[in-house]
Amino acid sequence: MALGTSERREAEVCVVGAGFAGLAAAKRLADAGHQVVVLEARDRVGGRTWNRTLDDGTVLSVGGTWLGVGQDRIFALCRELGCETYPQYERGQHIIRLDGTNHRYTGMIPRINPLAVVSLGLAFKRLGWMAQTLPLDAPWQAKNAKHLDARTLGAWISSRCNIPTATARQMAGAVMTTLFCSDPAEVSLLGALVLARGGGGFEYYADARNTETHLVEGGVPEVAARMAARLGDAVHLSTPVRQISQSASHVEIVSDRIVVRARHVIVATPPPLAGRIVYEPQLPAMHAHLLRRMTAGSIIRGITVYDEPFWRADGLSGMSAAPGSPISVSIDQTPRAGTPGILSSYAFGPQALAMAKLAPDERRDIWLRALAERFGPKALSPAGYLETDWTAEPWSLGGMIGVFAPGVLTISGHTLRQPVGRISWAGTERATAMHGLIEGAVRSGEQAADAVLAALPEPAAATA
Min separation Cβ 281 and a copy of itself, Å:
10
Burial class (CB in 10 A: 0-12, 13-18, 19+), 144: exposed
Q: Per-residue x/- marks for a copy of itself, 350-389, CB under 8 A?
A: x-xx--xx-------------------------------x
Q: How far apart are CA 170 and CA 173, in angstroms?
A: 5
User: Which of these ranges, 47-55, 149-157, 323-331, 430-438, lies near a copy of itself under the rule CB under 8 A?
Assistant: 149-157
Residue 177 vs 344, nearer CB to a copy of itself: 177
447 binding a copy of itself? (CB under 8 A): no
392 binding a copy of itself? (CB under 8 A): yes
Q: Identify the residue among 289, 312, 364, 369 touching a copy of itself (CB under 8 A).
A: 289
Q: Identify the residue among 47, 68, 110, 154 touching a copy of itself (CB under 8 A).
A: 154
257 binding a copy of itself? (CB under 8 A): no
Min separation Cβ 215 and a copy of itself, Å:
29
Q: Identify the residue among 35, 102, 113, 158 touching a copy of itself (CB under 8 A).
A: 158
255 binding a copy of itself? (CB under 8 A): no
Cβ contacts of 238 within 8 Å, gap of 6 or more: 40, 41, 42, 43, 256, 257
Pairing of strands 235-236, 402-403: unpaired
Min separation Cβ 212 and a copy of itself, Å:
26
H or E segment and range at residue 194 = helix 189-198
Q: Cis bond leading into 281, ω under 30°?
A: yes
Q: Identify the residue among 40, 186, 332, 446 touching a copy of itself (CB under 8 A).
A: 186
Residue 221 in contact with residue 49, Cβ under 8 Å? yes
Region of 443 on the Ramachandran plot (φ > 0 left; ψ -120 to 50 alpha; else beta): alpha
Min separation Cβ 162 and a copy of itself, Å:
13
Q: Identify the residue among 9, 48, 293, 363 touching a copy of itself (CB under 8 A).
A: 293
Q: How far apart are CA 210 and CA 205, in angstroms?
A: 7
429 binding a copy of itself? (CB under 8 A): no
Count residues near a copy of itself (CB under 8 A): 47
Residue 209 vs 257, nearer CB to a copy of itself: 257
Q: Identify the residue among 134, 397, 431, 449 touching a copy of itself (CB under 8 A).
A: 397
Nearest to 352 by CA among 293, 322, 382, 392: 392
284 binding a copy of itself? (CB under 8 A): yes
- Other beta carbons within 10 Å of 47: 30
**Cα–Cα–Cα angle for 50, 54, 56, nearest 5°?**
145
- Other beta carbons within 10 Å of 461: 8
320 binding a copy of itself? (CB under 8 A): no
Distance of CA 298 to the CA centre of its chain: 11
Residue 339 in contact with residue 370, Cβ under 8 Å? no
User: Which of these ranges, 117-125, 178-186, 366-374, 441-449, lies near a copy of itself under the rule CB under 8 A?
Assistant: 178-186
Q: Identify the residue among 32, 411, 451, 456 touching a copy of itself (CB under 8 A).
A: 411
**Under rule CB under 8 A, which residues in 261-280 are in contact with a copy of itself?**
272, 276, 278
Which amino acid, 409? Answer: L
Nearest to 105 by CA among 253, 283, 319, 258: 319
- Other beta carbons within 10 Å of 8: 10
Strand partners, 409: none
324 binding a copy of itself? (CB under 8 A): no
Max Cα-Cα span within the chain: 71
Q: Per-residue x/- marks for a copy of itself, 1-20, CB under 8 A?
A: xx------------------
Residues that bind a copy of itself (CB under 8 A): 1-2, 146-147, 149-152, 154-155, 158, 182-187, 272, 276, 278, 282, 284-286, 288-289, 292-293, 295, 298, 350, 352-353, 356-357, 389, 391-392, 394, 397, 405-408, 410-412
